[in-house]
Structure 1
Amino acid sequence: MVGKVAISVVSLLLVVGVVIGVVTMVRSNDSSSHEPVPNPTNSMKMITSICELTSYKESCAHSLESTAKNTSSTATDYILAVVQAALTEVQKSLDTTAKVVVDKNADQYNYVAVEDCKDLLDYAVETLQASISVVGDNDMHTVEDRAHELLSWMTAVYAFQTTCVDQIQNPEYKSAIENGMVNATQLTHNAVNIVAELSQVLQLFNIQQTTVNATSTSSSGGSSHRRLLMTEDGYPTWVAAADRKLLAKRGNAIRPNAVVAKDGSGHFKTINQALASYPSNFKGRYIIYVKAGVYDEQVIVDKNKPNVFMFGDGIGRSIVTGKLNFGKMKIGTMHTATFANEAEGFIARSMTFRNEAGPEGHQAVAFRSLGDKAVLFDCSFEGSQDTLYYQFRRQFYRNCHIYGTVDFIFGKGDAVIQDSEIVVRKPMPNQFNTVTADGREIQKGSNGLVIQNCLIVPDKYLFPTRFQTPTYLGRPWTPQALTVVMQSKLGDFIRPEGWRVWDGANNHKTCEMYEYANKGPGSRTDKRDKAFSHFRVLNTAQAVKYTAGQFLAGAQWLPQTGVPFRLGF
């Protein structure tokens, strides 16, 4: 390991030396240039310092070459260069993927997987372009305020790429696309780590930080806790005041843009018809009321329909259902979702999302969310394996019911589930239950799963045999998985080991599985599986990081918004 590090540092210095040499030679041969001649020492220091934060240092150094040539380059210029380099390579990856042609009739599964890959890379390009706008159109202090948002976006861009490759089964197609993505994934990985350490980059430019710590010390010497992302009425700060008032209303007090009713008493008989009525270039909150009934349809809120607020008549009354699955139908996991949100700002209340494939269906998603800043209140998610897929980006769930068996809360997004009931069902014979399966891929990335102040219990069918069916809080889908269960009540059926290893992998050696202030008979931690090298029972100071305020927003920018806040204990 030491040898590899030494080689990496030497390689980086060689790359930087080449860059400086080229710059110096060009300047000496062009006496007519009026641009300032870079100071080689400063250029080397800047590239070395920034790239030291990354895992792919040579790629990092190359991406900063042109920026380092200019002695007047600012912190903004360097951050822009990092994101732009990733964008350039992701666009190349998209071009490469576009050339991969699969016969739809001969290989339906991989045809869909490759098409998904193109869509995911499209999302990556759009997200990187939005990130460039944030950095390029604002001063550095404003960018600092939005550092967590940028980190969430960069983390999602990386997840888009890995998901693109992971779901392709055919080795020929997989290899062609994966080989064309090497530079893109490396540069995106670098971008995540650099944005995660933005404060260190700012220090290199002697930029004074304007943010405050997540906890401040009161005059009495105690800790003054502030919930950074939650307003006093319990909603995330990204939910505008008008939307908070909207969510507080009931029944006839809300005027919807579209009403869905199976009996024909509304504007539409299906949810998809209501979504199709969403006007192009619509501004504001589009409200869809789904009257009581069972709607057997696969629904997708596509990315061109932002800010949809969908509400029903209550859990168990307004039901969206389906039975698509991988186990019996060989449909890719993301396409099994009964209801999928791919748009920013989606809000749902008083709805049930269900997949009826059962344990035999294996992967069978009830609800999937890809769009940023999704909020779900008073909703029920019902399935067996892979029920709730927090696929990418920021999501907040409150007062919900979540049912399942294996890995039934899983994903690569940034998700917090608060004040909810998590109900474990009876799996197939000889199966075990795992409540969670997080897929974080970069340790400094924004994503992971937090379950806070929830109740984890068996359903009535599992209850009689709950001690014969091994049930765990979760298992790590990826080596860097992050899952935190805090302030929750754990039933007696939770195995003393707490967490289960991912068969055939060493993810348990590097993942982060944490618990804090849990209660109930399943909360004892003295017999937790020692194979999980980084398992920890957090203290209060450590747990603050995983409250809704910090985990979904970050102390760097929230104080600048002027909204009331406190930490989310």
Structure 2
Amino acid sequence: MGAAKIAVPIVSLLLVVGVVIGVIVVIKSNGEGAEEAKNLKTPSTKMVNSICGPTDFKEACTTTLETVAKNASSTPSDYIRAVVEAALKEVNNALLATNKVNVDKSKDEYDHVAVEDCKHLLDYAVDMLQGSIAAVKAADLAGLQEQQHELLSWMTAVYAFQTTCTDQIKSPEYKSAVESGMLNATQLTHNAVNIVAELTEMLKLFNVKLPTNKPVTLSQRRLLALKYGFPYWFGSGDRRLLAQQAAGQLVPNVVVAKDGSGKYKTINDAVKAYPPKFNGRFVIYVKAGVYDEQVIVDKKKPNIFIYGDGIAKTIVTGKKNFGIMNIGTMHTATFANEAPGFIARGMTFRNEAGPQGHQAVAFRSQGDKTAMFDCSFEGSQDTLYYQNLKQFYRNCRIYGTVDFIFGKGDCVIQDSQIIVRKPLPNQFNTVTADGREIKRGSNGLVLHHCSIVPDDYLWPVRFEIQTFLGRPWKAEALTVVMQSTLGDFIRPEGYKLWDGSTNHKTCLMYEHGNTGPGANTKGRNKEFSGFKVISAAEAAKYTAGQFLRAGEWLPQTGVPVQMGLY
């Protein structure tokens, strides 16, 4: 963790727009919505003050809304567009400024890569902001409210793109140059997150009345999805796809086999075979074997479904790391997904660097709506990197030592086994390290109905090595452990301070309904001001159905999910 964290969230504009338009619920088809919007009148000063109320950078916010506020007939969509367009303008300016920062690779290879990654991060942020603007333009007032969570997830990710950019740079000279060019962009994006988070309250300011006679609502579809045991983001086609795969009846697009019995011998060659402008699911079957290769699914390859012959049978492995090789964290990942709609099933993702490699990622994803099922993630420090945007993991195994489940995305891990390993001498174990940075952001980490246990090597010395449920990577970190079984080796204080920070005073660490000898919360660390044992009603907010809005996207993948509490 720390300065070596590098991220490159990638979502193309075309894909972003396509996803948004797909979730917009058009409530009024007879023009009434447009007429309603035209007739909305608001006192500009009062409106601007109310909209900017939740923001941290109020002067920047009021300046952003000055022009739109002068038009008495401006609608909520106009205000949201103004906020996002202002952020887009400044992110573009930040990109131009960062493009002028050049690092001599021969003298400082690490920071050369970090600054180049920054340029890509900001470029991806531009794509996402442009897609968000298109989404707002396409929505009526009711549709705008329906897609609030989607927009919030994207704005949260855009902010994370920028902070991760500066996090990763070591040299004060280059860090300062990039930060100074990004100041306005981070402030306006921070404002955008807080404004979108309060969008429903904004609609109330405009006296927007949403109709009650919706023909088919997202909520209704979520209930239907729950009835059949699949989240709604999984469509019927994808449910059939996974059912066929489970029954051995699925015909993949390509087959990978080390023995030559498939079309390709490497996973990389199979990924490269993804056809241009492909529609639907591109299915890759990887036969049993150990594949020693670094795989990256880039943003131009959405909706891949890759499956193997099962955990410990189909294995992707590598050993890239920061501790020995001085490779930035993102670039250590054995398998990386950078595209939306990625699904994997029945595979092992492994980084063999060991604890001496320090940051060494087995799997990372910044692809929106990632779903992983029946997979194993094996490493030591930083094993599973839920980098950005919405991610769901079910019936998986996750192995590690320090901060081994970490990221800045919106992540739920359900019905999985979390296996803690033996770290280096004088090290501690921390299962989680969440990176939420804005309290109203959409992101955070939820462990739901999981078990946390020591592996065979840790077991004999499990009481000699300190093991914590987590520590807060960023100030507003959100970690929820609920309805899970906690082994006896979990420290009574539960959570560890992040050295050199005051994150423990602002983060949120919640527990609900846990069992096992490590679940006693009486001894939890009193320095964590935001620690709380939450009620069932509060815990429901962190289930897949509510926290990820999983009903809106998981059904399309075919992965089963528990939407609510058990």
Same fold (TM over 0.5): yes
Q: Look up the match of 1:300.
A: 296
Q: Secondary structure at the match of 2:538?
A: helix
Q: Look up the match of 1:83.
A: 84
Instruction: Report the Cα distance in structure 2 between the residues aligned to 1:351 and 1:422, rounded to whole angstroms.
Output: 16
Is the CA contact 2:402–2:429 (under 8 Å) kept in the aligned structure 1?
yes
Q: Secondary structure at the match of 1:313?
A: coil
Q: Look up the match of 2:230.
A: 235
Instruction: Report the Cα distance in structure 1 between the residues aligned to 2:317 and 2:436, rounded to whole angstroms.
Output: 29
Q: Look up the match of 1:7.
A: none
| Alpha-carbon distance, 1:312 to partner | 0.3
Where in structure 2 are the equivalents of 1:112-127 lying within 5 Å? 112-127=113-128
Instruction: Report the Cα distance in structure 2 between the residues aligned to 1:478 and 1:229, rounded to whole angstroms.
Output: 37
Kindly report the root-mean-square deviation, in angstroms, between the aligned alpha carbons of the 2 structures: 2.3
| Alpha-carbon distance, 1:504 to partner | 1.2
Change over 3 Å in CA distance of 1:84–1:546 after alignment to 2: same
Is the CA contact 1:262–1:269 (under 8 Å) kept in the aligned structure 2?
yes
Instruction: Report the Cα distance in structure 1 between the residues aligned to 2:201 and 2:62, rounded to whole angstroms.
Output: 17
Is the CA contact 1:366–1:381 (under 8 Å) kept in the aligned structure 2?
yes
Instruction: Report the Cα distance in structure 1 between the residues aligned to 2:450 and 2:366, rounded to whole angstroms.
Output: 23
Q: Secondary structure at the match of 1:253?
A: coil
The question of 1:340 aligning with 2:336 is answered yes
Change over 3 Å in CA distance of 1:156–1:404 after alignment to 2: same
Where in structure 2 are the equivalents of 1:442-461 lying within 5 Å? 442-461=438-457
Q: Look up the match of 2:27.
A: none
Where in structure 2 are the equivalents of 1:54-73 lying within 5 Å? 54-73=55-74
Instruction: Report the Cα distance in structure 2 between the residues aligned to 1:418 and 1:444, rounded to whole angstroms.
Output: 23
Change over 3 Å in CA distance of 1:464–1:178 after alignment to 2: same
Q: Look up the match of 1:181.
A: 182
| Alpha-carbon distance, 1:266 to partner | 0.5
Where in structure 2 are the equivalents of 1:133-212 lying within 5 Å? 133-209=134-210
- CA deviations 1:19-58 (Å, max 9, x no partner) are xxxxxxxxxxxxxxxxx9x99x911111111011211000
Percent same amino acid among aligned pairs?
66
Is the CA contact 1:228–1:566 (under 8 Å) kept in the aligned structure 2?
no
Is the CA contact 2:233–2:550 (under 8 Å) kept in the aligned structure 1?
no
| Alpha-carbon distance, 1:380 to partner | 0.2
TM-score by length of 1: 0.88
The question of 1:544 aligning with 2:545 is answered no
Instruction: Report the Cα distance in structure 2 between the residues aligned to 1:47 and 1:380, rounded to whole angstroms.
Output: 49
Change over 3 Å in CA distance of 1:290–1:518 after alignment to 2: same
The question of 1:384 aligning with 2:385 is answered no
Q: Look up the match of 2:256.
A: 260
| Alpha-carbon distance, 1:226 to partner | 11
166-175 or 479-488, which moves further after superposition? 166-175
Instruction: Report the Cα distance in structure 2 between the residues aligned to 1:209 and 1:385, rounded to whole angstroms.
Output: 48
- CA deviations 1:208-253 (Å, max 9, x no partner) are 24699xxxxxxxxxxx999769633443321221111211222641
Q: Secondary structure at the match of 2:226?
A: coil
Change over 3 Å in CA distance of 1:437–1:329 after alignment to 2: same
Q: In the comparison of the two structures, how many residue pairs are matched? A: 517
- CA deviations 1:118-156 (Å, max 9, x no partner) are 111111111111111110011011111011011000000
| Alpha-carbon distance, 1:304 to partner | 0.5
Q: Look up the match of 1:101.
A: 102
- CA deviations 1:157-193 (Å, max 9, x no partner) are 0000000111011112111110011110001000000
Is the CA contact 1:230–1:568 (under 8 Å) kept in the aligned structure 2?
no
Is the CA contact 1:260–1:271 (under 8 Å) kept in the aligned structure 2?
yes
Is the CA contact 2:544–2:563 (under 8 Å) kept in the aligned structure 1?
no
Which amino acid is the alignment partner of residue 116 of structure 1? D
Is the CA contact 2:315–2:350 (under 8 Å) kept in the aligned structure 1?
yes
Where in structure 2 are the equivalents of 1:407-418 lying within 5 Å? 407-418=403-414
Q: Secondary structure at the match of 2:179?
A: helix
41-50 or 425-434, which moves further after superposition? 41-50
The question of 1:567 aligning with 2:564 is answered yes
Which amino acid is the alignment partner of residue 365 of structure 1? V
Instruction: Report the Cα distance in structure 2 between the residues aligned to 1:464 and 1:211, rounded to whole angstroms.
Output: 61
| Alpha-carbon distance, 1:554 to partner | 8.3
Which amino acid is the alignment partner of residue 394 of structure 2? R
- CA deviations 1:35-88 (Å, max 9, x no partner) are x9x99x911111111011211000001111110111111111001101111111
| Alpha-carbon distance, 1:472 to partner | 0.5
Larger Rg: 1
TM-score by length of 2: 0.88
44-53 or 383-392, which moves further after superposition? 44-53
Change over 3 Å in CA distance of 1:521–1:359 after alignment to 2: same
The question of 1:278 aligning with 2:279 is answered no
Q: Look up the match of 2:396.
A: 400
Instruction: Report the Cα distance in structure 2 between the residues aligned to 1:170 and 1:294, rounded to whole angstroms.
Output: 38
Q: Look up the match of 1:429.
A: 425
Which amino acid is the alignment partner of residue 237 of structure 1? Y
Question: Larger relative CO (CA 8 A, sep 6+): 1 or 2?
Answer: 2
Where in structure 2 are the equivalents of 1:483-522 lying within 5 Å? 483-522=479-518
Where in structure 2 are the equivalents of 1:440-479 lying within 5 Å? 440-479=436-475
The question of 1:372 aligning with 2:368 is answered yes
Change over 3 Å in CA distance of 1:395–1:566 after alignment to 2: closer
Which amino acid is the alignment partner of residue 363 of structure 1? Q
- For structure 1, the 5+ residue unaligned runs are 1-35, 213-223
Q: Look up the match of 1:356.
A: 352
Instruction: Report the Cα distance in structure 2 between the residues aligned to 1:333 and 1:233, rounded to whole angstroms.
Output: 39
Is the CA contact 2:231–2:563 (under 8 Å) kept in the aligned structure 1?
no
Is the CA contact 1:232–1:565 (under 8 Å) kept in the aligned structure 2?
no
Is the CA contact 1:228–1:554 (under 8 Å) kept in the aligned structure 2?
no
- For structure 2, the 5+ residue unaligned runs are 1-37, 214-218
Where in structure 2 are the equivalents of 1:211-250 lying within 5 Å? 231-249=226-244, 250=246
- CA deviations 1:107-128 (Å, max 9, x no partner) are 1111110111111111111111
Q: Secondary structure at the match of 2:208?
A: coil
Q: Look up the match of 1:326.
A: 322
| Alpha-carbon distance, 1:568 to partner | 4.2
Which amino acid is the alignment partner of residue 53 of structure 1? P
Q: Look up the match of 2:305.
A: 309
| Alpha-carbon distance, 1:416 to partner | 0.1
Is the CA contact 1:230–1:548 (under 8 Å) kept in the aligned structure 2?
no
Is the CA contact 2:544–2:550 (under 8 Å) kept in the aligned structure 1?
no
Is the CA contact 2:221–2:232 (under 8 Å) kept in the aligned structure 1?
no
| Alpha-carbon distance, 1:280 to partner | 0.9
